[in-house]
């Protein structure tokens, strides 16, 4: 296979919350680490340092990311890489005859590789086709959504996935624009957002298209659905005492992780007015981080994209409620 054009460009990739994630995962030297978003192998390199006799399994649905990872990890015999989605975890581990792992890392969101590659269509800062697929071999593109969804459906999508208050106005503007010409590029769509959402001059104010692009990316890649499925699968394969670490980049993702960890670290889920437990739910996790870990000032100075990152970690309990 010829290398992607993206591979010929020297890139600086800064993994988010690297030190914190590795320390909190704390895999044993001979442990099995499962990384469900290998990306450009930033976390992988550091994790491999702490498992000299262990095994690293990296999963990513992005072919370009996996190409970078293979180059970065240079044929390390401890490494196995797979093109797969969170939802494919069962077949990946079955194929490797792995029944248990010590640590699972999920670094959710868009990588620097994806954001900086104009042809991927993730960024409103670069002119490119409205694609946004992490797996470019399957699924509908963002352009298909923008040009085919009804105004009502677009409005609902932008409001729910993007938490955008001007969702109705944005949807109306998109439909009006596409009636004249199909919306095909990132800049075309960003300019529509600029017309609807006027950008002020307050420090730290986000670009008018930020929430719109987030909403479309989540829909294209079914991110919220596969996030929960991925966490459930990860916990299933974790050894008792093993840890799951999830790094999120916006409130929708963090809310899902927070709620899942809260539910799975609670014995009884019955309403408070029921005097005796009838649900039979038993905690499968123990919270390691009571509050999310965020980037330090030092990291933010080096990598501004880490400003919205939140890391939550939980530890698998053995049957009976012991780690």
Number of domains in the chain: 2
The whole-angstrom separation of Cα 315 and Cα 288 is: 6
Residue numbers of the domain that contains 52: 5-107+223-316
Same domain for 215 and 227? no
Report yes or no on 242 lying in a domain: yes
- Residue 11: what pLDDT? 47
Sign of the alpha-carbon torsion through 316, 320, 321, 322: negative
Looking only at the bridges linking them, the beta strands covering 101-107 and 79-83 are unpaired
Burial class (CB in 10 A: 0-12, 13-18, 19+), 115: middle
Same domain for 57 and 14? yes
Q: Which of 10-14, 29-33, 132-136 has the highest mean pLDDT?
A: 29-33
Closest CA to 278 of 289, 287, 267: 267
- Residue 7: what pLDDT? 42
- Residue 230: what pLDDT? 93
Same domain for 288 and 228? yes
Report yes or no on 122 lying in a domain: no
Q: What's the CATH number where 33 sits?
A: 3.40.50.150
Same domain for 165 and 289? no
Where is the domain boundary, 186, 205, 221? 221
Same domain for 92 and 10? yes
Same domain for 216 and 233? no
Same domain for 64 and 30? yes
Q: Specify whether the CB–CB gap between 173 and 195 falls below 8 A.
A: yes
- Residue 4: what pLDDT? 45
Q: Is the pLDDT of residue 2 over 70?
A: no
Same domain for 20 and 45? yes
Q: What's the CATH number where 196 sits?
A: 1.10.150.170
Q: How far is CA 207 from the centre of its chain?
A: 21
Same domain for 195 and 174? yes
- The pTM of the full predicted model, rounded to 2 decimals, is 0.90
- Residue 6: what pLDDT? 43
Same domain for 228 and 87? yes
- Residue 323: what pLDDT? 57
Report yes or no on 189 lying in a domain: yes
Same domain for 147 and 19? no
Q: Is the pLDDT of residue 112 over 80?
A: no
The whole-angstrom separation of Cα 224 and Cα 214 is: 12
Distance, first Cα to last Cα, the chain: 45
């Amino acid at each position: 296979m010829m290398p992607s054009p993206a591979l010929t460009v020297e890139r600086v990739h800064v993994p988010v919350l690297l030190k914190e994630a590795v320390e909190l995962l704390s895999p044993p030297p001979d442990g099995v680490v499962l990384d469900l978003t290998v990306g450009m192998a930033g976390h992988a390199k550091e994790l491999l340092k702490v498992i000299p006799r262990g095994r690293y399994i990296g999963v990513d649905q992005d072919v370009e990311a996996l190409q970078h990872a293979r180059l970065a990890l240079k044929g390390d015999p401890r490494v196995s890489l797979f093109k797969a989605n969170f939802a494919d975890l069962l077949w990946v581990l079955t194929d490797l005859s792995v029944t248990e792992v010590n640590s699972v890392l999920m670094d959710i969101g868009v990588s620097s590789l994806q954001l900086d590659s104009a042809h991927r269509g993730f960024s409103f800062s670069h002119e490119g086709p409205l694609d946004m697929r992490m797996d470019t071999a399957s699924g509908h593109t963002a352009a298909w959504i923008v040009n085919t969804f009804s105004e009502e459906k677009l409005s609902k999508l932008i409001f729910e996935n993007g938490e955008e208050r001007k969702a109705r106005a944005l949807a109306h503007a998109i439909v009006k624009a596409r009636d004249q010409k199909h919306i095909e590029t990132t800049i075309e769509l960003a300019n529509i957002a600029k017309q609807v959402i006027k950008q002020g001059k307050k420090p730290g104010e986000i670009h008018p298209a930020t929430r719109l692009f987030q909403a479309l990316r989540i829909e294209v890649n079914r991110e919220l659905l596969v996030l929960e499925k991925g966490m459930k699968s990860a916990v299933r394969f974790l050894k008792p005492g093993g840890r799951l670490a999830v790094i999120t980049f916006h409130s929708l993702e963090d809310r899902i992780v927070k709620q899942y960890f809260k539910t799975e670290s609670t014995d009884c889920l019955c309403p408070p007015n029921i005097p005796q437990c009838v649900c039979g739910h038993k905690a499968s996790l123990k919270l390691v981080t009571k509050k999310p870990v965020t980037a330090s000032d030092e990291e933010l100075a080096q990598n501004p994209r880490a400003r919205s990152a939140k890391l939550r970690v939980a530890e698998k309990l053995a049957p009976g409620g012991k780690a």
